[in-house]
């Protein structure tokens, strides 16, 4: 009986060990940093994974070998391929640290919602990875192009795009969840970032590329990929991308504004805030986009005296005019060329005039392309760096 009394609790305690059922030692797993999906030659998809080679990232242990290994497989479903990667790789793959998803152009043109569902559903992926469209090049090459400072290609691209977004606004802050939200929303169409490789992709695939002062090949961001539903329909360039971001949530940017014949001022824009008012004018929707921002002068090529209030006023007016036409041009281009509401004007309409939007929500993109857009910028030029008068200013 006494033995029983001891035995029973110890048997019950065994149950608590089940918490370790799912453990995996760190040296049994490999972390995937990037996934590239493109059109397969024999099957629907060709999936490439970039796996971090952790020992090469440690400064003391690094032997100068590759920091990242890639492997590709072809098949019809991403999830199967990702589980099958051990055809060529040793360890169990973990996707929780995936930072980039590169999608090939052909796949994107045919529609990507098929595999986005897996990414959202699996729970293995965090949604803080960047969605990228590889323009004119093979998506897998993005995962293979090294860079000396950030050695793992997918992490490099991730950092690159988030820094560009923060510093200049040239990349959309579009994560998987945002993309899917735009896809499911009737009043918005998704966008993703587009990138390409400058130089010869083959040269970038070796660690030797890291030893050159000017890399033989370099991944560069080229702008915005515009989607209709889940299909890629076109691109916007970097400037237009910045204008797009400005209507969303721009952090800061720099503008070059003409102030005279062939002369320019450089203005740093910060604390920008855009508000949109939606309305229906009979049958045409109209939107007032109001942009309020602060700015300071980075440099000037003009002679205007920066100690005078009038100069500030003139510059402010110049900047406002430029911002207004610039953004309006981008919106008009999207309206005319692509006819998809990537700006989310429909969502604003839904928030502000729910009934009107509900009536037209199935043809929203048509409504958007005929909408009147009015942009008003209100830019405050606050100060001009560390000097007062420019040395260009002539004494009067």
Q: Find the binder of other proteins among 3, 12, 59, 309 (CB under 8 A).
A: 12
Residue 75, strand partner residues: 45
Closest Cα partner for 142 from 152, 154, 151? Answer: 154
Q: Which token pair is 245?
A: 């971001």
Q: Find the binder of other proteins among 65, 86, 128, 256 (CB under 8 A).
A: 128
The secondary structure of residue 261, as a DSSP letter, is T
Total residues in contact with other proteins, by rule CB under 8 A: 24
**Would you call 382 helix, strand, or coil by DSSP?**
strand
Residue for token pair 């400064």: 59
User: Measured between alpha carbons, how far is 167 from 282 in angstroms, rounded to an integer?
Assistant: 41
The nearer residue to other proteins, 179 or 244, going by C-beta atoms, is 179
Is there binding between residue 16 and other proteins (CB under 8 A)? yes
The nearer residue to other proteins, 173 or 216, going by C-beta atoms, is 173
Q: Are 359 and 281 in contact (CB under 8 A)?
A: no
The nearer residue to other proteins, 237 or 352, going by C-beta atoms, is 352
Site string for other proteins, 309-348 (x = CB under 8 A): --------------------------------------x-
Q: Give the count of beta carbons closer than 10 Å to the beta carbon of residue 175.
A: 16
Is there binding between residue 167 and other proteins (CB under 8 A)? no
Q: Are 312 and 388 in contact (CB under 8 A)?
A: no
Pairing label, strands 130-134, 100-104: parallel
Least separation in angstroms between residue 31's CB and other proteins is 13
Residues 343-372 close enough to bind other proteins by CB under 8 A: 347, 350-352, 354-355
User: Measured between alpha carbons, how far is 320 from 335 in angstroms, rounded to an integer?
Assistant: 22
Interface with other proteins by CB under 8 A: which range of 42-50, 119-127, 318-326, 379-387?
A: 119-127
The nearer residue to other proteins, 179 or 338, going by C-beta atoms, is 179
User: Measured between alpha carbons, how far is 43 from 176 in angstroms, rounded to an integer?
Assistant: 25
Q: Find the binder of other proteins among 185, 237, 279, 301 (CB under 8 A).
A: 185
Contacting positions for other proteins (CB under 8 A): 12, 15-16, 18-19, 21-22, 96, 120, 123, 126-128, 177, 180-181, 184-185, 347, 350-352, 354-355
């Amino acid at each position: 009986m006494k033995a029983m009394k001891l035995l029973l609790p110890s048997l019950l305690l065994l149950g608590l060990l089940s918490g370790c059922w799912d453990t995996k030692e760190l040296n049994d797993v490999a972390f995937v940093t990037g996934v590239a999906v493109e059109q397969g030659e024999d099957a629907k998809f060709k999936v490439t994974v970039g796996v971090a080679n952790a020992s090469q990232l440690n400064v003391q242990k690094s032997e100068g070998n590759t920091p990242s290994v890639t492997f590709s497989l072809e098949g019809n479903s991403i999830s199967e391929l990702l589980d099958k990667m051990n055809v060529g790789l040793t360890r169990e793959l973990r996707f929780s640290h995936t930072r980039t998803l590169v999608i090939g152009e052909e796949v994107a043109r045919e529609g990507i919602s098929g595999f986005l569902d897996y990414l959202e559903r699996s729970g293995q992926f965090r949604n803080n990875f960047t969605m990228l469209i590889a323009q004119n090049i093979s998506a897998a090459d993005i995962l293979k192009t090294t860079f000396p400072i950030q050695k793992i290609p997918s992490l490099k691209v991730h950092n690159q795009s988030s820094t560009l977004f923060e510093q200049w606004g040239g990349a959309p802050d579009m994560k998987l969840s945002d993309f899917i939200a735009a896809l499911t929303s009737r009043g918005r169409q998704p966008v993703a970032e587009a990138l390409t490789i400058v130089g010869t992709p083959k040269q970038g695939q070796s660690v030797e590329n890291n030893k050159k002062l000017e890399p033989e090949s370099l991944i560069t961001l080229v702008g915005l990929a515009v989607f209709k539903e889940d299909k890629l329909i076109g691109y916007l360039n970097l400037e237009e991308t910045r204008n797009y971001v400005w209507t969303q949530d721009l952090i800061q940017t720099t503008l070059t504004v003409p102030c005279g014949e062939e002369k320019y001022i450089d203005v740093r824009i910060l604390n920008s805030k855009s508000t949109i008012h939606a309305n229906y004018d009979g049958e045409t929707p109209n939107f007032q986009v109001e942009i309020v921002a602060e700015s300071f002068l980075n440099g000037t090529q003009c002679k205007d005296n920066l100690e005078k209030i009038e100069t500030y006023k003139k510059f402010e007016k110049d900047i406002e005019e430029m911002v207004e036409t610039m953004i309006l041009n981008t919106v008009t281009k999207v309206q005319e060329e692509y006819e998809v509401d990537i700006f989310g004007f429909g969502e604003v309409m839904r928030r502000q005039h729910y009934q009107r939007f509900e009536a037209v929500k199935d043809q929203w993109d048509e409504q958007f392309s005929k909408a009147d857009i009015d942009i008003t910028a209100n830019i405050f030029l606050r100060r001009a760096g560390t000097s007062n008068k420019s040395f260009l200013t002539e004494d009067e």
